[in-house]
Amino acid sequence: MTIPELIDVHAAWLPPEAFRAIGSRRVLVHADGPLAETVRDEVVHACGLYGGSVPHPVSDQVGDQQVDLVLALSSMAALPAVAEEVRGEALREFGPDACGAEGFVLACRDGVTVVLADEPAGLLYGLFQVVRLGESAFGSARPVERHRPATRRRMIDHWDNIDVHPVMGQVERGYAGGSIFWQNGALRGDLTRVRAYGRLLAACGVNAVAVNNVNVHAAEARLLTDRLGDVVAIADALRPYGIRVHLSVNFASPIALGGLPTADPLDESVREWWARTTERVYATIPDFGGYLVKADSEGQPGPFAYGRSHADGANMLADAAAPFGGVVHWRAFVYNHRQDWRDRSTDRARAAFDHFAPLDGRFRDNAILQVKHGPMDFQVREPLSPVIAALPATRLAVEFQVTQEYTGQQRHVCYLAPMWSETLGFRPWGDGGRTVADVVADGPAAGGAGDLVAVSNVGDDPFWTGHPLAQANLYAFGRLAWAPRTDPVAILDEWIDLTFVPSATGDPERLRRTLHEMMDESWTTYERYTAPLGVGFMVRPGHHYGPDVDGYEYTPWGTYHFADRDGVGVDRTRASGTGFTGQYPPPWSDVYESLTECPDELLLFFHHVPYGHVLHDGSTVVQHIYDTHFEGAERVAETRLRWEKLAGDGLVAPELHARVKERLDEQLRSAEEWRDQVNAYFFRKSGVPDAHGRRIH
Ligand code: GCU
């Protein structure tokens, strides 16, 4: 597969023009190994397009070559003089292990830009950093900077199935067409798109991909055994871009695939089966990443059937993977999805903490507990999951959802990086304490760094993500996983500058401004016209698109708002509710418990209040609902107009413009529907008229 073939798929944030600055220079690639080959191929291709050159690093002449950019392993014997200087300085400043497995140092002096890495993966990431910097990487002096990822694994989970599900389609919660891996029940014959995907992921820092749905059905279960060849081929396609492949496995595989009578994690024959099966996986794919498991959750089998704990289950798989350096991502998304809505003592938000907090310290070092960032399920607004602060002796992965299941399904513009950034910067122990990003990055004392994971949003759609602007979410996830403190607005700038600006013929500043106006606050715009004040859901059951205020109110799923004629919200206090607030450490256990201190945006998540309850901004709850819903829909109308004005100016390709326009038409229709249903609902329940006399149906 050649680079032009990869770009042909749909270049997204790696159009050829983004390589112009590199491609017009003399570039020395001085490194060995397969990933170094990828770096070389990229550079050779760029130089072929823009007139640059890639001199051969003949070792005894390396020092004398006149080049503009050096990409080299710091272990290479002979480096150009300026790279030697940078190496010496990096050593003095950062010590011998300056870069680690994936980091790099970057500097520019005497007109030469230097990227040095200890391992080839670092060179790959360094190359993409130079791509991001464009012209500004060259010429003016730049002191030695070190770049290292904050997290060990920056992982994308695919919820792809081999077969097409009659209701969910092929990709569960997928809004961008079919799977990029499978078609018609078989692995795709041409994996160019997979390789192109790996290239895009590497450019934003992702290094791991779980290829199949966490709900592992019969066909996908066999990826572990007789369909392992599919995984081999995917791993081969992604490896050149430094991405390891992981597999979702079914906990009951020893029964379904191994013919054993049990899947009890403490049964010797079961443990042996996993050990043997895992050995074979690693014999076939030596750099295989590991397993991902959804157990005892929404109908998936798990250790509870045998009276065993989730630590028993996770450790069994961790033991099987340990000899090969593999890991197990064990999901904490465990709750009773068959609860009785009449039962007010069961609170789904409590479930993960209740199941997992008591198990702290009992997981193996290579078992990673994967926790959704909120206690419920990827709603537009949730508090932090208290699980993240509750297991100091356990390695954690925090899971985000890039695929917009509850945030507009890639028909609505909803740039999610501000939400993730807020989560990563949140301090579970209050001011002065560690952030979520610190918890993930540091890991427990014994286990090493943790991971950031996201459920992906791509498919075989020509624009990868259905809504072309939803590409920004995938890009931003990778960048935040690499450097969690990066400002989401700056990430959006990067994405715009890579994706659109290099090929735009008009005024790039206008394009940049318009996209920021459309996207910077699109998350809170979405929040404004959907479920209010943190209460969540109110979506159509099953597919989760569009408004249905009572859709889940009398169902077994544990997602209720309890609206009546007097008020709305879920009482999760210790004083009178489910006691969920007690799962947080102070100060949050008290802040959330207190009606006066609880942040407005989470009020209805923690409290049931009368419609006349006054928020911190002086508005009542019901007036806030009306105001935000009118405003949210208005903002969408403005967004749509902004985009229309970009038509025909050479700033974005016509097909892309048309696709976004079509999505914005739908977003506006949907936002107005949300506005009218939610407002009508609360007006009819409460009888309170809108203070501004606007039309409520
Ligand atoms: C959500 C989603 C499911 C998914 C589940 C999970 O509930 O609707 O489709 O399987 O999350 O994260 O496992």
CATH superfamily of 153-488: Glycosidases (3.20.20.80)
Identify any residues that bridge with 331 across adjacent strands, giving them in sequence order.
Answer: 370
Whose C-alpha lies nearest to ligand 1, atom 13? 214
Task: Please give the C-alpha separations between residue 10 and each of 178, 192, 277, in angstroms, as whole numbers.
Answer: 16, 11, 37
Q: At 27, list the tokens.
A: 């570039």
Q: Whose CA is nearest to atom 1 of ligand 1?
A: 377
- Indicate where the chain has its CATH 3.20.20.80 domain(s): 153-488
Domain with CATH 3.30.379.10 in the chain: 16-147
Nearest CA to ligand 1 atom 7: 377
pLDDT, tens only, 45-88: 999 999 999 998 765 555 566 899 999 999 998 899 999 999 99
Q: Is 377 among the residues known to form the active site?
A: yes
**Residue nearest (by alpha carbon) to ligand 1 atom 10:** 215
Query: Cβ–Cβ contacts within 10 Å for residue 513, how many?
Result: 13
Q: How far is the CA of 481 from the centre of ligand 1 (A)?
A: 22
d(CA 346, CA 354): 11
Would you say 278 and 235 are in contact if contact means Cβ atoms under 8 Å apart? Answer: no
Going from the Cα of 632 to the center of ligand 1, the distance in angstroms, rounded, reads 27
Fold designation for 526-570+608-686:
Alpha-d-glucuronidase, C-terminal Domain (3.90.1330)
| pLDDT for the residue numbered 446 | 44
Taking the CA of residue 506 as centre, how many other CA atoms within 13 Å lie in the half-sphere pointing to its CB? 14
CA 299 / ligand 1 centre spacing (Å)? 11
CA-proximal residue: ligand 1, atom 12 (nearest): 333
**Closest to 554 measured CA to CA, from 541, 544, 570, 545:** 541
Ligand 1 centroid from CA 504, angstroms: 39
Q: How far is the CA of 645 from the centre of ligand 1 (A)?
A: 38
CA-based torsion, 486, 490, 492, 495: positive or negative: negative
**CA-nearest residue, atom 2 of ligand 1:** 173
Under 8 Å between Cβ of 370 and 334: no
Known active-site residue 548 = no
> Catalytic site residue 172?
no
What single letter denotes the amino acid at residue 311? A
Classified as helix, coil or strand, 374 is coil
**Among the atoms of ligand 1, which is closest to the Cα of residue 215?**
10
For residue range 458-476, list pLDDT tens digits in order. 999 999 999 999 999 999 9
Residue of 377, 409, 552 to mutate, ligand 1, most atoms within 8 A of C-beta = 377
Pocket test for ligand 1, best of 167, 173, 217, 379 (most atoms within 8 A of CB): 173
Catalytic residue among 377, 460, 494, 527: 377
pLDDT value, residue 7: 82
Ligand 1 atom closest to Cα of 399?
A: 12
Ligand 1, atom 11, residue with closest C-alpha: 377
> Cα(150) to centroid of ligand 1, in Å?
27
Angle at 689 between CA 688 and CA 690, to 5 degrees: 125
| DSSP per position, 344-372 | TT--GGGHHHHHHGGGTT-S-TTEEEEEE
Over the chain (697 residues), the average pLDDT of each successive run of 10 is 85 96 97 95 98 81 77 92 95 92 96 97 98 96 96 97 90 97 97 97 98 97 98 98 98 98 98 98 98 98 98 98 98 97 96 98 96 98 98 95 98 98 98 93 63 96 97 98 96 97 86 97 98 98 97 98 98 98 98 98 98 98 98 98 90 94 98 98 98 97
Sign of the C-alpha dihedral computed for residues 291, 330, 587 and 349 taken in this order: positive
Please identify, by atom number, the ligand 1 atom nearest to the C-alpha of residue 173.
9
Taking the centre of ligand 1 as the mean of its atom positions, its distance from the CA of residue 643, in whole angstroms, is 33
Buried b (16+ CB within 10 A) or exposed e, 60-78: eebeeeebbbbbbbbebeb
CA 401 to ligand 1: nearest atom:
12
Best residue among 213, 382, 405, 539 to mutate for probing ligand 1's pocket (most ligand atoms within 8 Å of CB) is 405
Model pLDDT for residues 660-673, shown as the tens digit of each residue: 999 999 999 999 99
Measured CA to CA, the distance from residue 601 to residue 535 in angstroms comes to 9
Give CA–CA dist 182/170, Å, rounded. 9
Cα(529) to centroid of ligand 1, in Å?
23
Between the CA of 215 and the centroid of ligand 1 the distance, in Å, is 8
Q: What is the CATH number of domain 16-147?
A: 3.30.379.10
Ligand 1 pocket residues where CB is under 6 Å: 172-173, 214-215, 294, 298, 333, 377, 405
Q: Where in the chain is the domain with CATH 3.90.1330.10?
A: 526-570+608-686
Catalytic residue, from 119, 405, 527, 627: name it: 405
For 381-432, write each residue's pLDDT tens digit. Answer: 999 999 999 999 999 999 999 999 999 999 999 999 999 999 999 999 999 9
Look over the chain and give the mean of its residue pLDDT values, rounded to a whole number.
96
For the CA of 544, the nearest atom of ligand 1: 8
